[in-house]
Structure 1
């Protein structure tokens, strides 16, 4: 299980399963729901526990299953499976199923789902195991956003300050000019295109503005979150091209490339909002 998780974690951050690097965000945070700031990736350990609990549920509530009849005949023998002592001769599989009873004793939500009337749901039990998390303020920027998956992933990292941008390098103690002139120029053009009459702000302030825009669904508000994600992604790609390949695009080229991608993804009825 740990090895599978390691492969997934390594692939997420490097693109393959062999190259290892420090993760910008802890795996437990990646497994949180999107509204809580994660990527809603399944926590394999908890999902496995939920699957084992389903076998325990079958033992308790599906007496007609052949394997359940066998376990009842050889181990339970009419006793209360939740209070009896498991025979030491039981196989490791049976012991593993029995050990999950402790989860029900420790987690009242799991117990509630387990004994609920009706069919068993691994999904509901997994939700009970992973628990509740506070919602992040910027959840509307990454949830139900029509931007590309790559753009949303980079935005997800950016809003948490996990990209090695100039301000973060300064935080690490690396000497650099914290201002990004290109970002300001590009975003100013975007604001003018969207007919928003104000100067560009710092990134944290722009996040707050984008969140407020996302709360409404009229006019330019409908596409603002998509624009925000695609422009952040476009700037990140240009940053890497400049640093590692020496390829430089003008602010106008970056904006036009982003708008073209947005127009291909947004609804036909909203394209007029992106016209130069």
Structure 2
């Protein structure tokens, strides 16, 4: 245990390691999905290693959060890229509508809450025995009165205990272990979104996840959104067909190009979905579980991704893909992805459906 309070200078090593990696990645052309994976597995891993033991200074926690989000949206400190998803939403767990980063201050307390659970459940560890001998001396941890001469670390644990209820701590335990993610979701007090199974579907190609997450939340930078933030453009019409103002509903469902793509894909899959944005978002919330539903979700995610890819090509490359080219790219991604799951346990009708798709 550390007897004195941590200062920001004590944590500079965390920021230095994160900035070193960001400098290495800065010159690479990474997709949003790639950046998300690097943040989750590398940058937050550096943060969580220390948070697993200590309550970090708030200035350090906020700086780490800022560096991660700057990297996600492609900011470099002097140039800020525009985005619609708020920081508070990005940090939510995936089941609650975010990307699962974990807001720094709350995540730190959630990680330290496991020690409170360990003490209150009298786990057979040397550390718990030491706590009982030095501090508790047979008292119940939840009724223990903090002494003035207690160490800084022990005071922090007691303060964290006072923030949460015993029920919150106990409910996060399962099969003899403390589930940090489960506890974090409980302390956020946010309703679960119904679309997260669709967006983060295991059958979908990983690079499609981020785009479909933005599309479901109406957060892609279509021209109607750019107009609302008073960003001047030469035209606010659809960059693909040039007939109507570009928004999510038009781009993915009403544009002539998109309708041709969607029709051919629906024929291929043998499944139809609503062709209006609001109806579509309701449809994905009501989707059932199962292999066939997962494949349909993966197909639609790929369709949204490649329609968006073509839209960006029209803007930045001044050229549009042909409909059959987009359809072939969607089929290729889905067939490769579905083939990875052919060895999984499936019902006979599901296996027939998979074989039929892979044979086309």
TM-score bracket for this pair, using the shorter chain length: 0.7 to 0.9
Q: Please give the alpha-carbon distance, in whole angstroms, between the structure 1 residues aligned to 2:190 and 2:86.
A: 18
**Which runs of 5 or more residues in structure 2 are unaligned?**
1-60, 238-244, 343-351
Equivalent position SS for 1:100 = helix
Q: Please give the alpha-carbon distance, in whole angstroms, between the structure 2 residues aligned to 1:244 and 1:50.
A: 44
TM-score by length of 2: 0.61
Whether the 8 Å CA contact 1:161–1:168 is kept in 2: the answer is: no
1:91-240 map, 5 Å: 91-105=151-165, 109-113=167-171, 119-123=176-180, 124-136=182-194, 138-172=195-229, 176-177=236-237, 178-179=245-246, 183-195=255-267, 201-209=275-283, 214-215=287-288, 223-240=295-312
Once the two structures are TM-superposed, the CA of residue 94 in structure 1 deviates from its matched residue by 1.2
Whether the 8 Å CA contact 2:265–2:327 is kept in 1: the answer is: no
User: 2:116 is matched with which residue?
Assistant: 56
Equivalent position SS for 2:142 = coil
Q: Please give the alpha-carbon distance, in whole angstroms, between the structure 2 residues aligned to 1:158 and 1:200.
A: 15
**Which runs of 5 or more residues in structure 1 are unaligned?**
none
Matched, 1:88 2:148: yes
Instruction: Indicate how the Cα distance of structure 1 residues 62 and 227 shifts in structure 2: closer, same or farther if over 3 A, else same.
Output: same
User: 1:42 is matched with which residue?
Assistant: 102
Measured against aligned partners, the alpha-carbon deviations of 1:141-165 in whole angstroms (never above 9, x if no partner) come to: 3142512111121011011111111
Structure 1 stretch 41-50 or stretch 149-158: which is displaced more? 41-50
Matched, 1:25 2:85: yes
Structure 1 stretch 18-27 or stretch 44-53: which is displaced more? 18-27
TM-score by length of 1: 0.76
User: 2:356 is matched with which residue?
Assistant: 272
The aligned length equals 270
